[in-house]
A and B are shown apart, each in its own frame.
Chain A
Amino acid sequence: MYFGFDNVSIAYGKRKILEHVTMEFEKGKITTIIGPNGCGKSSLLKTIPRVVTPYTGGPVYQDRPLKSYSPRELAQRIAYLPQVHTSPRDITIRTLVSYGRYPYKRFGRSMTGEDREMIDRALALTGLDNMGDRLLNNLSGGEKQRAWLAMTICQQPEILLLDEPITYLDIGYQVEVLELIRELGEKLNITIVMVLHDMNFTARYSHRVYALASGGVYAAGTPEEVISRANMEGLFSIDAQILRDEKNNCPFLIPEKLGTHSQKA
């Protein structure tokens, strides 16, 4: 397996969150994990930076369990952006992005020319060139998210994990950030795994979708296969009308409260 989860079970204390979850992510593609609140999507993702420790199985990279790699080796290959970011208040974009070079830092050595090159490239790729000296705290939500993405890009990852990357953004920035994520994935051939709550964006931006519910994988496949009326009812207890977005060539969903459709019909 190139990258994925093998038989992962997670529990908080005695409460079991996930049991025997296996997922495989295709190289260079975008995979989105969906599911109801509290189904364990974020916890699953957090097993990769070892914030959450599963009690069976674990993430796998290049056919080897992730824990057989050193944290530094992993950080040079897999980048992770949590849902909530914290940073000092007086940090500039360039400083933040430079922290992405930490996995490449040699003991006692300062930044190399290559480091600076990678920082400039990351800023350019995220459309933040000439903004390096701006303070992170004074940016708009979309710009902030771009700065954090630039930091992860600076890690030169093969794999990028994003935990609800658009949750706190308005719809304008949501589109902007998702377009950027897709563009980065294509340009740099990065495998992207993200957690999203919005079904329409999931349908539009993912190559593959995994749906998690009641402790395990509920459905998996292309957006067309997973975002179906039956699955939406099973996952979210909604009656979903599935239409087709011809322009973006993907399914499009209108949610209704369960029961309302059948009554009208």
Chain B
Amino acid sequence: MKTQPKTKSLRQTLPYKLTVLLLLAGLCLAATLACTAIGSVKYSLFQVVQALFREDAEARLIIWNVRLPRVLCGGLVGVCLALSGCILQGVMRNHLASPSTIGVTSGASFVGYLTLVAFPQFYSLLPVGTIVGSFVTTMLIYLLAYEKGVSPVKMILSGMAVSAMFSAFNDIIRSFFSERLANATGHLVGSLNGTVWGDLQLIFPYMLVGVCICFFLPGKMNILMLGDEMASSLGLRVERFRLFLIAVASLLAGASVAVAGLISFVGLIVPHIARLIIGSDYKYLFPASIFLGYSFIVICDTVGRVVLPVGELSVSIVLSFIGAPFFLYLLRTKETA
């Protein structure tokens, strides 16, 4: 055991937290610009900025039509998943919870596929389907794992089972309706390849609603962390609030699945790193997770784009390389409760 400082350290002071948030916001901006510049064709920062503001710039086509939507969309997916993970870890009061570890994203993609098969002409219905899917799955996991609080083991196990079940369903749907899903195969498989501005429009409203709601949650989230009994005696309507949180987390996770498919581990890792650097007060944890989630996906996706001499690795593969060992490390440490 490391010896902890007796009193609060510099890290718990307000100036430190604000500085960290400012730096993280800077990281987002830097990642956006840098990752737009990097790729099979490399541009200078100047060329990137020029292409953003001048329609006749020579790099306009690649930067504006190809790279920027992909970077921004990836970033927003990161925001959604990180916030969703942050909320789920609070709801389940368990650090192993995240949209992917408990099967929420596979539930979302299942209903997403169903939506595409049933209403192939209404592409904008896809996020609605994925959001409904994640809500139902989260409720299912929550009810399955509940016994005087959410048991971590039950949560992970039921998450695994539900997740396996939904991917089996997904395979069935994919093989039966391959022609109807032909133009949607880029979606729902965990890649940002081929992202266009339309995808950004698809995710943006849902993300915006989710993020705005999160600004009103910290006070209550902090109270919830004191346990159901304490929170309830402090005047919080615990069950109602928890249901609301599950809905918000599902909205965010569902929106991300609609444009990027199954992207694992962001919702798990980012809240942890955020907690490590800024503490567990949700007032700072939420914004830190937003900035980190954004930068994390943008950087990982860019790594996947450039790491191979030919072709590219999808962002979910890159994330799994980093995320899986991290998850195992979390399982080993006893801080799961």
Contact = CB atoms under 8 A, between A and B. Distances in A.
Contacts of B230: 80-82, 85-86
A71 B6 contact: no
A92 B219 CA distance: 16
A87 B227 CA distance: 8
Given A95-B281, A134-B6, A135-B7, A102 B232 contact: no
A140 to B, nearest CB: 12
A75 B93 CA distance: 23
B227 A82 contact: yes
A96 B279 CA distance: 14
A179 B82 CA distance: 47
A82 B232 CA distance: 11
B305 to A, nearest CB: 37
A171 interface: no
B101 to A, nearest CB: 21
A85 B227 contact: yes
B209 interface: no
Contacts of B280: 88-91
A86 B232 CA distance: 14
Given A50-B232, A71-B236, A72-B235, A102 B219 contact: yes
A201 interface: no
A135 B227 contact: no
Q: Which of A49, A89, A95 has the most chain B CB within a 10 Å cutoff?
A: A49
B233 A49 contact: yes
B8 A133 contact: yes
Interface in B219-256: 219, 222-223, 225-230, 232-237
A79 B226 CA distance: 14
Nearest to A99: B223
Contact of A155 (B225, B228, B234): B234
Contact of B232 (A49, A88, A108): A49
B5 A135 contact: yes
Nearest to A80: B233
Contact of A87 (B225, B228, B233): B225
Nearest to B280: A88
B178 interface: no
A48 B280 CA distance: 29
Interface string A133-149: 11101100000000000
A89 B216 CA distance: 23
A86 B93 CA distance: 10
A46 B238 CA distance: 14
A51 to B, nearest CB: 5
B6 A138 contact: yes
Given A51-B232, A75-B235, A87 B226 contact: yes
Interface residues of B, number: 26
Nearest to A79: B233
A100 interface: yes
Given A92-B12, A134-B7, A155-B234, A99 B222 contact: yes
A135 B229 contact: no
A71 B234 CA distance: 8
Contacts of B227: 82, 84-86
B4 interface: yes
A99 B232 contact: no
A44 B310 CA distance: 68
A181 interface: no
B277 to A, nearest CB: 11
B229 A49 contact: yes
B234 A135 contact: no
Nearest to B276: A90
Contacts of A108: 216
Contacts of A90: 12, 279-280
A71 B232 contact: yes
Contacts of A91: 280
A105 interface: yes
B87 to A, nearest CB: 15
A80 B236 contact: no
A240 interface: no
Contacts of B236: 71, 102
B235 A71 contact: yes
A53 to B, nearest CB: 11
Nearest to A105: B219
B282 to A, nearest CB: 10
Contacts of B222: 99
B234 A100 contact: yes
A86 B4 contact: no
Given A95-B281, A102-B219, A105-B219, A85 B226 contact: yes
A51 B6 contact: no
Nearest to B240: A71
A165 to B, nearest CB: 14
A71 B220 CA distance: 14
B223 A135 contact: no
20 contacts: A49-B232, A71-B235, A72-B235, A74-B233, A74-B235, A78-B233, A81-B230, A84-B227, A85-B227, A85-B230, A86-B93, A88-B225, A89-B280, A90-B279, A95-B281, A99-B223, A102-B219, A102-B235, A133-B7, A155-B234
Given A91-B280, A135-B5, 6 more contacts: A46-B229, A75-B235, A80-B230, A90-B279, A92-B12, A133-B8
User: What are the 6 A-B residue pairs with the smallest beta carbon separation, nearest first?
Assistant: A75-B235, A49-B233, A80-B233, A88-B280, A49-B232, A82-B229
